[in-house]
Amino acid sequence: MTKKGLTIAILNLMPTKEATANQLTELVTAGNEQVEVLLLYPESHYENKVLPDLLARDYFPFSLIKERVVDGVIVTGAPVEQLAFDQVDYWPELCETLSVIREKDIPILAICWGAQAALYHYYQIDKLTLRNKVVGVFDHQLRVKNHPIFKHLSASFKAPHSRYTTVDQTQVLTHPDLVNVADSTEAGLYLVTNRSGRETFVFGHAEYERDTLNLEYQRDLVSDSEAPFPQGYYPNNQVDLEPIKTWASHGRSLFGQWIHSLAGIYTVS
């Protein structure tokens, strides 16, 4: 059971604010009215700009983390992965927020670029640009069967990826405080935690809806007629056929186990 009054903050950095918030909120609440979700935005990104109505109505600034008691924080991906971290206009604010999260000992689940940013800030493991975008739905294997938080993940599962960058796998695998929980032969690292279990890094997108990769692909085709084709996504690789959400049960399992772990974090042996 999720403890009463659980509060989850979501640092939503995605351009598809509403869709991303809906996807993550559905997964972390799973119909439980006792889970409160706080949506946060980076103030520095909107400096000298008019704050969009959606953010003004439904969001709080990152600085709320300093004031509110929250049980967990999710950091989303962001469309800035081809920039150096220090070229992102809200990078100093995000670093300050990540530091506060660690200082306050708040469990964090960081996704895609958010995972790369957190891994860099906490462990100085930089991101690397890929020759070709990794995009599609890939097979994954569980590498730590007795992980105290994610022990109920299937031994093998499918999950989406959509990114132009990765992290140095060797640095992750040899770091004494990091644990490779699950990965993909084709897509690389997928789920990494630190040994305390309070920091979780997910390099794919288990939160994606059935049509998210299709919307991204159609968007990419507008600017690049040879945009990378999403592997393992469309039935028979035919874009006119409706994709099947083969990762649905994994997404529920991943986020459900993380939420339930917030009542008590354990050490990975």
CATH code at position 257: 3.40.50.880
Residues 50-87 pLDDT 10s = 999 999 999 999 999 999 999 999 999 999 998 999 99
The percent of residues above 70 in pLDDT, for the chain, comes to 96
Averaged pLDDT for residues 103-120: 97
Averaged pLDDT for residues 100-109: 97
The percent of residues above 90 in pLDDT, for the chain, comes to 89
- In this predicted structure, the answer to whether residue 14 has a pLDDT above a threshold of 90 is yes
Cα–Cα distances (Å) from 94 to 84, 90, 222, in that order, read 14, 6, 31
In a domain, 269, yes or no: no
- In this predicted structure, the answer to whether residue 264 has a pLDDT above a threshold of 60 is no
Task: For residue 250, give the nearest of 199, 217, 214, 202 by alpha carbon.
Answer: 202
In a domain, 268, yes or no: no
In a domain, 266, yes or no: no
Q: N- to C-terminal Cα distance for the chain? A: 25
With contact defined as beta carbons under 8 Å apart, do 35 and 8 qualify? yes
In a domain, 2, yes or no: no
In a domain, 244, yes or no: yes
Tally of domains in the chain = 1
Q: List the structure tokens of 105.
A: 């000992």
Give pLDDT, residue 157.
Answer: 98
In a domain, 35, yes or no: yes
Give pLDDT, residue 85.
Answer: 96
Order of strands, sheet of 7-11, starting from the edge strand that comes earlier in the sequence: 59-61, 36-41, 7-11, 72-75, 108-111, 199-202, 188-194, 178-184, 127-142, 156-167
Domain around 197: 7-261
Averaged pLDDT for residues 154-176: 96
pLDDT band, residue 4 (cuts 50/70/90) = low
In a domain, 1, yes or no: no
Residues 209-251 pLDDT 10s = 999 999 999 999 999 999 999 999 999 999 999 999 999 999 9
Residue 36: strand pairing partners: 7
The catalytic residues are: 112, 205, 207
- In this predicted structure, the answer to whether residue 3 has a pLDDT above a threshold of 50 is no
Stronger pLDDT, 268 or 61, i.e. the higher one: 61
In a domain, 120, yes or no: yes
Task: For residue 205, give the nearest of 197, 194, 196, 216 by alpha carbon.
Answer: 216
- In this predicted structure, the answer to whether residue 97 has a pLDDT above a threshold of 50 is yes
**Cβ neighbours, 10 Å, residue 139:** 14
Give pLDDT, residue 2.
Answer: 41
- In this predicted structure, the answer to whether residue 265 has a pLDDT above a threshold of 90 is no
Stronger pLDDT, 269 or 229, i.e. the higher one: 229
